[in-house]
Amino acid sequence: MSATDYFFLIADVFQWTFQIFELIGNMVNFAFILLIFGGLCYWMTVQNRLNGLADVPAEIKDAEEWYKEGSNKSQLK
* In-domain check, residue 14: yes
Least confident of 2-11, 41-50, 56-65: 56-65
Left, alpha or beta for 71 (phi > 0: left; psi -120 to 50: alpha)?
A: beta
* In-domain check, residue 59: no
Residues 66-74: what's their mean pLDDT? 54
* pLDDT tens digits, one per residue of 16-55: 998 888 888 899 999 999 999 999 999 999 999 988 887 7
Structural domains counted in the chain: 1
R_g (Cα) of the chain, nearest Å: 29
* In-domain check, residue 74: no
Q: How far is CA 4 from CA 7, 9, 16, 18, 72, in A?
A: 5, 9, 18, 21, 80
pLDDT at 75 over 80: no
* In-domain check, residue 77: no
For residue 42, the enclosing domain spans 3-52
Q: What is the pTM of this model?
A: 0.51
